[in-house]
Structure 1
């Protein structure tokens, strides 16, 4: 018998959803997945971050007799999930290296004696023979593998331990297995099914669209000032993540934001583990903190009220971009995915790819992933078709909630300019960077051009009627399209791509987006989150939540999400029955916090 059954929890999925988790209805394909897994089937679940993946295994775990084992790659992720479940009245525990000997012994005893509904465990510990033998002594009702894309050697978060999780199918063949991820292209999906689930598994793909996220991509001009302006205009006093390419840049960016009066920290792999943990804990537990990080930060961060994710450098693939931006707005409230990039970013990533020790096949795959991201960045129409199309999902466009829909860019026939640029790269020897190529195109007399004799080339000054910023745009978009490639030696030079001949010969045309000219007029756009942060009710509830979270030593969102607080402010319930009707208020939280919430509302009204 499961701990849930002994505790008197209902066995019906809708009743569990309402009474335990406080939600009135399932979303998307959640109920279909729960029925399949609850009946003993294997499943691969692909849902966007914030789409409700965890309910797809948590509800079946409470329906079936026994304990569910959840494999998770990060301690922080496990800790947050367990705290959230316990606050909903679920018997959950974690088994990892952070536990002392006595806590570990007690947790293992609870598992063996059937007192747990869910046990979260890292793959390294699960793979120990002693752990597997212990599981064989227990009634295991479900095996859930979170962040399943980590199994892919072609993916962006590869963890070699995941390759060994095929032991679960051999040791526990009768136990249903469910693998979950927010990002996996067709190749990665195939690997997950083959390595972890078996061919009989069903694949459930929910929509990857995050309609609450506003996507914006721009060009670097003064990246830190652009970031500061964006934060002050759209998200003052709100939590966000800023991704940077280098460790040094995370520190410099955080320092700059602090100098400007914002609350910011840096996070990167070069920091000590204690320092990283302290930064992560602050970000999770505090409101309004900005963390400037490399890609070492993020996977498993279960913070629902991240209002923006910003990129100051180009990510390496569209999968990475989607995964990172998906950490914004997990509570369903409006959020921003904001990025600036430059020609130098494109050159740098292409050079790193060509200089890597990867085999030819993997390099080809990574080039395709990068090119998909660059096509998304240079997109002139709605951004969602390009982003979602990568994951095999069709979108009609005209979302009305991206920069291109809200402020459509101008496009122009750049065929002649592109041929001039390609010819100049060829005539100058295919070994010079953008600056020198543009000098030759515009006829700018320099000592270097004279010494090399480039002022006597047929391409000298043929582009004098076009400004330098437009030539930078042309070269960037030619790189993005693969018509130009960076020098593989890493010296910053440009070379002709393999597909440029048709364009040079006049057999094909090219249209480019015209880069927007920055406006000197300050925008007075509305903040992204439609919440009156000056409301006495909002401030009182946030203060109560913060004090309660501190006393219980958990993040504030474990008590209630921002979306739930906003709904409480809007509904202004006066009784516990009215409070129970609000999404996110389950029976356990109603009993635990209901009276305090009503008192807080009464006090704020006074």
Structure 2
């Protein structure tokens, strides 16, 4: 066969490979035969060769539509390297100058260019449409085709216009649509919208057997991340966060803790982003901390872990992002941190969206919640989501749920009730409604359908939400029920479910583990509050603080505050450097008061054979250091505190907290110029005398003692700042 021979010759010549992977050969042959082609192939499966090779072998220019400028650049560079000449591939997008656009169009017109990458926004421009009408187009490749669907994880309205533009450009142009993630619903949307209902479908398995999936409750998340990375020395990874602010913050913390990391998000200029990608590819940095925009088209085969600091918005997003790990078939650890607070935050973001968009977004997010909270094999859940059957024994313990001990329950009786309810009441209700029926939770929809009078109403009240959630999720995984594609979330009885009702049998399901309260936010000092507090040491440190306070004629809280002592009893600092890292200590206080405390802790550690996990004392981020420096400079210039707050866009209360934190860490600040304006001398002296004798620094106690009619909370706070600054620092 001529086509076959030239296929392999070209594969060897352009890409240096001897064999095709998976369906690549059949896909390429289909395109070369001018047939519409639909490719669903997971990340790392070799999607790009599916359109690059036929483009290089066909007459004319192939148009590749892609939403990602980084991916375009990456692929164009690779093709130029393979093809040996610059004109072989070009991209057309908003990053080009007028001169560069003219050069691209000249190369395409002269037939030198085999692949032209176009952003969907550029495709819709009139002059580009007019230009493409003059070009001999071999076929159009629509990459990231899931962007067409509102049910996809990355919907882009411009993608909806692609078919119209292709029709304007020419007749009978073959199309290849490619995506790494598509649920049955999204597949159907892509076919309809691109008018390619007769396209040949090539769908690879979504199973990535080398990836290990794990979800942890979001507690001490920064400490957990630092610990994980330090336990994986020399390996590269990606950390995904939902906000740019969090990306910057985490990258900074990692660097402070000796881990080479760089931030990556859309707020950085193109040059910085390109340099960051290059540094990651060249292994000059170990970790990229990114928003979801990163990684698309970054072909680094040996990413060893992908960490989700925040739970992703969709299973497609999660699958695609975890798919960056282990693309060479080697180790890939996918770790996600889950917290109800993150889910609430994402739901809040959706509040302002149109109703239909909000409903879709909520349903998509619910899938992520179910996945995170479930105790069933993670791999089975992921593959089921993408319409693929999987037996969990094939997971080979490559997920945390398969490695954990499980609690099973007999599901037969309640499963029959569940399926009977759906059969009798019709496919009109989502899982939440059905759970409310069984748990006897009455609300407007329940009473509207008279379900508060149903024979099953309240019959499973004693079993609780977690039980019913586990049952419904696994009834779905067993294919007894499915979610209605067009009315997402409504449960339908399947043929399997009907068969089970006719011929029920004993069945055991797994009870979801109650997720620990993974809602602890990272503070600015992530090391605080982690580990176990050593109460014996705490008592000794408090006695020492009292003694030092007596010697210096100061109240104990001026030496070190309680949270600082607590943290010393978790991390056992024994050097001046380690002490400075303790929350609320800082260089000034460490040098002034630290020596006897370090001596006591060192002796205590030796006598009690304590192993100090010093690697994992996570140094706090300096993410507020710029603000703090600016506040100190403004106070030195004697600018009123309320004016500083206004200029910094924070409230007066927040500013006082910042000033207090600066002073508590041992920096001396003179705010007399402001206090003298606010509080008369007599009252200043009265508060000063109070703090000189006080056992602790509680403002509430001071107000009780001094009289709330004479002082405000902020008056006392200002005087406490002055007192600690003058006496403690």
Same fold (TM over 0.5): yes
Report the CA distance shift for 1:204/1:510 in structure 2 as closer, same or farther (over 3 A): closer
Indicate the residue corresponding to 2:297 in structure 1.
300
What residue number does 1:554 align with? none
Distance 1:479 1:244 in 2: 28
Structure 1: distance between partners of 2:40 and 2:121: 24
Which of 75, 78, 84 lines up with 1:81 in the alignment?
Answer: 75
Picking from 293, 312, 317, the partner of 2:314 is: 317
Q: Structure 1 unaligned segments of length 5 or more: list them.
A: 1-8, 416-421, 430-462, 464-473, 484-497, 500-507, 524-606
Structure 2 gap ranges (5+): 412-435, 444-461, 474-489, 492-507, 518-529, 533-610, 614-729
In the TM superposition, residue 343 of structure 1 has moved relative to its aligned partner by 3.2
CA pair 291-477 structure 1, distance change in 2 beyond 3 A: farther
Give TM-score scaled by structure 1 length: 0.65
1:174 is matched with 172
3-state SS of paired residue (1:198): coil
- Quote the Cα distance in structure 2 between the aligned partners of 1:20 and 1:277: 25
Distance 2:311 2:469 in 1: 14
Alignment of 1:456-605 (within 5 A): 511-513=511-513
Q: Secondary structure at the match of 1:307?
A: strand
| TM-fit CA distance, 1:122 | 1.5
Q: Deviations over 1:285-335 (max 9, x none)?
A: 444431212224333333333222101121122111112111222333322
TM-score, L = length of structure 2: 0.55
2:26 corresponding residue in structure 1: 32
Query: How many residues get paired?
Result: 446
Provide the residue aligned with 1:407 in structure 2: 403
**Distance in 2, Cα, partners of 1:207 & 1:369:** 22
What's the CA shift for 1:413?
6.1
Q: 1:252 to 1:65 in 2, by over 3 A?
A: same
Secondary structure of 2:342 counterpart: helix
Q: Report the CA distance between 1:387 and its aligned residue.
A: 0.2
Task: Decide whether aligned partners of structure 1 residues 332 and 47 sit closer, same or farther in structure 2, where only a CA change above 3 A counts.
Answer: same
Change (3 A) 1:171 1:108: closer
Per the TM alignment, residue 510 of structure 1 is displaced from its structure 2 partner at its CA by: 8.4
Is the 1:241–1:291 Cα contact (8 Å) retained in structure 2?
Answer: yes
Alpha-carbon shift at residue 48 of structure 1 (Å): 0.3
Change (3 A) 1:522 1:305: farther
Q: SS at the partner of 2:368? A: helix
- Look up the SS of the partner of 1:88 in the other structure: helix
More helix by share: 2
Q: 1: distance between equivalents of 2:244 and 2:369?
A: 24
1:174-193 alignment runs, 5 A limit:
174-193=172-191
d(CA) in 2 for partners of 1:480, 1:226: 28
Residue 345 of structure 2, aligned match among 345, 348, 351: 348
Aligned partners of 1:138, 1:11: CA distance in 2, in Å? Answer: 29
**Per-residue deviation, 1:522:** 12
Which stretch shows the higher mean deviation, 181-190 or 166-175?
Answer: 166-175
Contact persistence 2:471–2:509 (CA under 8 A): no
Q: Distance in 2 between matches of 1:481 and 1:243?
A: 31
What SS does the corresponding residue of 2:390 show, helix, strand or coil? coil
Is residue 50 from structure 1 mapped to residue 44 from structure 2 by the alignment? yes
Quote the offset at 1:389 in angstroms. Answer: 0.7
Residues 221/412 of structure 1: CA separation in 2 closer, same or farther (3 Å cut)? farther
**99, 103, 114: which is aligned to 2:100?**
103
* Structure 1 residue 114, shift from structure 2 partner: 0.9
Q: Does 1:379 align with 2:377?
A: no
1:117-132, aligned counterparts within 5 Å?
117-132=114-129
| Distance in 1, Cα, partners of 2:226 & 2:190 | 40
Displacement after TM superposition at 1:214 (Å): 1.6
| Structure 2 counterpart of 1:390, from 385, 392, 395 | 385
* Pairs within 5 Å for 1:206-355: 206-234=204-232, 236-272=233-269, 274-353=271-350, 355=351
Quote the RMSD (CA, aligned, Å): 4.1
Residues in 2 aligned to 1:151 and 1:68: alpha-carbon distance in whole angstroms: 20
Which protein, 1 or 2, shows the higher relative CO under an 8 Å CA cutoff with sep ≥ 6?
A: 1
Specify the SS of the correspondent of 2:107. helix
SS of residue paired to 2:392: coil
Q: Deviations over 1:5-48 (max 9, x none)?
A: xxxx9972222222321222222221221111110001121110
Distance 1:107 1:229, change over 3 A: same
Q: Identify if the C-alpha distance between structure 1 residues 45 and 370 changes in structure 2 by more than 3 Å, giving closer, same or farther.
A: same
- What are the residue-to-residue correspondences of 1:191-202 with 2, within 5 Å? 191-202=189-200
**Residue pair 2:265, 2:293 contacting (<8 A) in 1 also:** yes
